[in-house]
Amino acid sequence: MEGFKALTIVWCVWVLLLSHSSLGDAKVRHYKFDVGYFFKSVDCVDKLVLGINGQFPGPTIRAEAGDTLDIAVTNKLSTEGTSIHWHGIRQIGTPWADGVVSVTQCAITPGETFHYRFKVDKAGTYVYHGHYGMQRSGGLYGLIIVDLPKGQKEPFHYDGELNLLLSDWWHKSIQEQDVGLNSPTESFRWVWEPQSILINGRGQFGCSLGANFINHTLPVCQFKGDEECAPYILSVLPNKTYRLRIASSTSLLSLNLAISNHKMVVVEVDGNYVQPFTVDNIDIYSGESYSVLITTNQNPNQNYWISVSHRDYNVSTTQALTLLNYKSVHASVLPSFPPPMTLPWNDYEGRKAFTKKIVALKGSPQPPKYSQRRVVLLGNQDVLNGYYRWAVNGISLSLPPTPYLGSMKFNLKNAFDWQDPPESFPQDYDIYIPTTYHNATQRNVVYKFQFNQVVDVIIQNSNSYIPNTTSFHPWHLHGHDFWILGYGEGKFKDGDEKLFNLKNPPLKNNLVVFPYGWTAIRFKTDNPGVWSFHCHMEPHFHTGMGVVFAEGVQYVKEIPEEAIACGLTGKMLMNKKIH
């Protein structure tokens, strides 16, 4: 306990020092990304993979806070467009580089190159991933690690660093998934569960490293070590402290990570420092990132399991396993004890308890005491015109052919539906039973906010179309960090503001909304642009579970032509009407 208090004091001093320091000597870092398909046995089954420069996962981007990234992304696909979103990077002053097709840019068509040039303004652990169609499900993702500028130190000590990028993997192609999701109800096909969970792009289908300890019929995996699907081993020295950076780019699964016999101290979430707390395992939802500290103080003459399992209803995907390898032992030596148990998906209270432990580091920015506008967003599933769709406040998002950023900047009234979407949902809507929404539609509306306004958003969960089923929905806001003010049970109502945490709410860019509950966030509309806010489960967003926020578009500087060279803005460019 005394050591924990001392660590807290160090952190507070660090925050004060950092607030008065500069970003040092910033650099421009250049990358060339060729997006293409290739064959790879990522989980011991040879399948098409969507990757970058022939790599899967894509190359890790490493920079310092204040640096500018200049990334030339060339589409080497022969039949489809592409784009890349830099998840967690706020794109201050560069909204056209956010990478969301039909929101901030046109798709990069086959053979074309799009130059993403933007500043990474804040240290932390982030991911990048495709944001066109189902391409994240196909493997288009990688890590972004932003270090503090030289001369600055983290508010905690560690001797080494290890990185884990977690994802889920299907044997069904993304084209087949897309057609199944967008077929009429009588021929609709859900993506179902993934075949594997991948750790740094590697998984094992049809066998398990822990088969001798787990009650299933799979054989023990046998590897020489040079196979494409051989587990990615994390090697460590004894009696050291390691920073383990963990990021999830899953398309569907929420995950739980544990390391046998090792505690984890959580110190960073979504690129923001949090008050450190110690746990045996962590829940990580799609899009989230963590830094945890582990101390290698166990018996150095054996290896230890790293377990990644899912936390999802009615999913049979096998627990992913690899090893924390103490270097005094050969990496092929499996532990002589069972791996950490897969926790039950319906451990609601345990999942909520972990999430509520995440609070801001002392000295972090606090939210404004009051908001000037509140939007309540109900996510639900419905049948629209004979198709299963996800919707928000009765509107299933259908993105327009002209990117919002350009059409709003140039006030193109025919580019999308300019009518204001509903600020809430009908009070008589029963969140506990599957029911159709009043007059649900498919539209491409935008929530338009005043610039520099303080906004509260309440995300309300409800039953899906099938009785007694709901999800732990992870949501991601582009262009911003937000304060998570709190979580509540049932339907949000006036007076629930008393449950808000205004003392030390965490800053994040991802949230989870629990079954039949709500999550409240607060943010400031201080980043001119048009920003997506959506469920980060790929099949849900792909079928309409998202909204679009716009703020201060009049202050957006000149948009690069390559971002708006399609749709109505593309026609204007051809006619030389945009200067």
For the chain, the structural domain boundaries read: 28-147, 160-357, 373-570
Check residues 339 and 19 and name the one with the higher pLDDT.
339
Answer whether 28-147 and 373-570 agree in fold. yes
Q: Which CATH number fits domain 28-147: 3.30.559.30, 3.30.300.30, 3.40.1000.10, 2.60.40.420?
A: 2.60.40.420
Q: Please tell me the distance from the alpha carbon of residue 349 to that of residue 351, in angstroms, as a whole number.
A: 5
Spell out the residues 6+ positions from residue 274 whose beta carbon is closer than 8 angstroms to its own: 266, 267, 268, 358, 359, 360, 361, 506
pLDDT of residue 24: 52
Fold assignment, 160-357: Immunoglobulin-like (2.60.40)
Strands 141-147 and 124-130: antiparallel
Spell out the residues 6+ positions from residue 563 whose beta carbon is closer than 8 angstroms to its own: 96, 104, 105, 106, 114, 403, 405, 406
Residue type, 294: I
pLDDT of residue 312: 85
Closest alpha carbon to 50 in 27, 75, 68: 75
Q: Please tell me the distance from the alpha carbon of residue 132 to that of residue 80, in angstroms, as a whole number.
A: 9
pLDDT of residue 22: 40
The 10s digit of each residue's pLDDT in 97-131 is: 999 999 999 999 999 999 999 999 999 999 999 99
Q: Are 143 and 61 in contact (CB under 8 A)?
A: yes
The 10s digit of each residue's pLDDT in 250-272 is: 999 999 999 999 999 999 999 99
Q: Please tell me the distance from the alpha carbon of residue 453 to that of residue 435, in angstroms, as a whole number.
A: 34
Q: How confident is the model at residue 471 (pLDDT cuts 50, 70, 90)?
A: confident
Residue 514 token pair: 């629990």
The 10s digit of each residue's pLDDT in 212-224 is: 998 678 999 999 8
Q: Where are the alpha helices (DSSP H) in 128-221?
A: 174-181
Phi, psi of 342 (to 5 degrees): -75, 125
Closest alpha carbon to 249 in 293, 197, 291: 197
Tell me which architecture the domain covering 373-570 has in CATH. Sandwich (2.60)
Element (H, E) at 539: helix 538-542
**What are the beta bridge partners of residue 277?**
266
Q: Tokens 């929530």 correspond to what residue? A: 447
The 10s digit of each residue's pLDDT in 341-376 is: 988 888 889 999 999 999 999 999 999 999 999 999
Mean pLDDT of the chain: 93
Residue 16 token pair: 């004060």
Q: Which of 456-476 are b and which e, b meaning 16 or more Cβ less than 10 Å from the residue's Cβ?
A: bbbbbbbbbbeeeebbbbbbb
Q: Please tell me the distance from the alpha carbon of residue 253 to that of residue 260, in angstroms, as a whole number.
A: 22
DSSP 43: T
